[in-house]
Structure 1
Amino acid sequence: MVRMWKDFWASRKLIWKLARNDFKTRYAGSYFGVLWAMVQPVIIVLVYWFVFQIGLNNATAELKQGISVPFVLWLVSGIVPWFYFSESLSNGTNALLEYNYLVKKVVFNIDILPLVKTIAALFIHVFFVLFMLFLFALYGYYPGLHTLWVVYFSACLLIFVTGVCMLTSSLVIFFRDLTQIINIFLQVGIWMTPIMWSLEDLLAKYPILMVLKLNPLCYIVYGYRAVLFQTGSVASLGWMNIYFWAVTILVWLLGSHVFRKLKVHFADVL
């Protein structure tokens, strides 16, 4: 795993160039180009906002006991990191399949391809973070030094999802159905993560649901909300800090090990 990170650093200029080209070519040929990458998530947010706030009359959401915040801000602060995770996992899983012509080149370092996809997804993520901060400012939650913690949690998410993609991208070559399984997982996962509903409210009735906090994305969502609403800090997340990084390290150990073991067969299968 350490050797792989050294390879990433040595190839940082190539990774950046490939990520930038990947982002540009994804929407090449369409009239509105990269605008499509921004329009779809915005529409999804508007639909969820209309259903939950207008349809179900949820004007506010309870962040902590006794602290209520505008529902639209509560929703956006949870769904923005999910959008990044979803896009990175979907594209990163198919990285080797998409760049199969590079995989077949003996001299090319294919270890960087999953990372290229997760970095390419950052371009849209940065836009949505800025949009989110603008929306918060409209409601009186102005950015400050505390906002810089969003960079930390985004970096956490990048590292975690890249480790997952190292595993899934190497397995999907031999088991193509994994792509469909991941799509189903993402459809279910958004509801298993406290993005549009409050886990704290359910814990009061069903303490057994504490197990849902073992979802690594729960740490990211809680972190975004804590720093954006200024109700806590990284330290306030307590055991979730240790748990998240322990899971991330395990994912990287497993992902890098499987990737290294199977990479000698990639070109033959493709």
Structure 2
Amino acid sequence: MFGFGIVGLLRTIFRSRSLLWSLAVYELRGRYAATLAGSVWAIVNPLVLIGVFWFVTAYGLKVTFEDGPPYFLMVFCGIVPWIAFSEALSGGTNSVLGAAYLVKKIAFPMEVLPLVPIVSTVIVHAVLIVFLLFIMAVNGLPPQLHYIQILYFSGAMLTFAAALSFVLAPVNVFQRDTAHVIGAILTIWFWVTPVIWPVDNLPDWAYAIIRMNPLFYIVQGYRGVLLYDQPFWFQWPLDLWFWACTLFVLLLGSLLFGRLKPHFADVL
């Protein structure tokens, strides 16, 4: 039963892959269609946020370490995946509610809707990774072949965001407060994830708890691959915990989405 739900979901998405890509590009363009710079704002806004964190950490807080890479590079490696995750999850939560005109169409594959913000996020995230690699090169860390391992953690992060979106998108149709609740949760989630603070300062009991946060696995993965030349499996067996959480949420999402999908048009 559970496996069939996921298989059916993935089959529908695969068959509608061309439609998914078209909707993602359209969504990215439409988000800033009325502005002078257009879709450029999708890149500018995250870069501004990164620039602010760089200024605060490098000149305001003046945080430094005796060994290892500069602190602001650690922040960059944490904030780049966080921006992608939070954007993907926020967009995924509102995906069905914001596409009522498509939901009401006959035989439209609604399963692609939570993935539209995910795919548009991939485009922006790729640009931010290139920018991050440029900043690293300027600071004495030129690109290396093993950096390609970052694709694993990017894929893992977006898969987790997609799984959560399949749970939250249908709930948001029936309970409109869901998006606001997720906004508050993301604020808390940001601070309990080691995005701008090092885990080395934690006592053992707190470290054991923080490691259960799936975003811990992602953020530390980015840092390990890009800053410390570590292989993508260096956090083993935390990999098992992350993918177990992702699979469980995806199972729940496939069942919940399938159960509620027939009622979307009536509610919207």
Equivalent residue of 2:176, what SS?
coil
2:21 equivalent to 1:21: no
Partner of 2:102: 102
Structure 1 segment 193-232 matched on structure 2, within 5 A:
193-203=193-203, 207-232=205-230
Equivalent residue of 2:68, what SS?
strand
Partner of 1:138: 138
What is the letter of the counterpart of residue 237 of structure 1?
Q
CA distance in 1, matches of 2:199, 2:162: 27
CA distance in 2, matches of 1:266, 1:166: 14
Partner of 1:128: 128
Structure 1 segment 73-92 matched on structure 2, within 5 A:
73-92=73-92
Contact 2:57 2:72 in 1 (8 A): no
Structure 1 segment 1-270 matched on structure 2, within 5 A:
1-60=6-65, 67-203=67-203, 207-270=205-268
Alignment deviations for residues 220-249 of structure 1 (CA, whole Å, 9 cap, x no partner): 111111110134212211111111111110
Contact 1:153 1:223 in 2 (8 A): yes
CA distance in 2, matches of 1:147, 1:230: 11
CA distance in 2, matches of 1:156, 1:136: 23
Contact 1:23 1:120 in 2 (8 A): yes
Contact 1:234 1:241 in 2 (8 A): no
- Residues 72 and 236 of structure 1: is their aligned pair in 2 closer, same or farther, counting only changes over 3 Å? same
CA distance in 2, matches of 1:11, 1:112: 7
CA distance in 2, matches of 1:254, 1:68: 41
Stretch deviating more after TM superposition (10-19 or 78-87)? 10-19
Alignment deviations for residues 5-61 of structure 1 (CA, whole Å, 9 cap, x no partner): 11111111111111111111111121011222222222222222222221222134x
CA distance in 2, matches of 1:178, 1:195: 25
What RMSD in Å do the two structures reach over aligned CA positions?
Answer: 1.3
Contact 1:164 1:251 in 2 (8 A): yes
In structure 2, list runs of 5 or more residues that go unmatched.
Answer: 1-5
Q: Quote how far apart the aligned CAs of 1:209 are.
A: 3.7
Equivalent residue of 1:99, what SS?
helix
CA distance in 1, matches of 2:28, 2:61: 37
CA distance in 2, matches of 1:43, 1:17: 28
In structure 1, list runs of 5 or more residues that go unmatched.
Answer: none
Contact 2:192 2:210 in 1 (8 A): yes
Size of the aligned set, in residue pairs, is 263
Equivalent residue of 2:69, what SS?
strand
Q: Quote how far apart the aligned CAs of 1:189 are.
A: 1.2
What is the letter of the counterpart of residue 55 of structure 1?
G
CA distance in 2, matches of 1:101, 1:18: 13
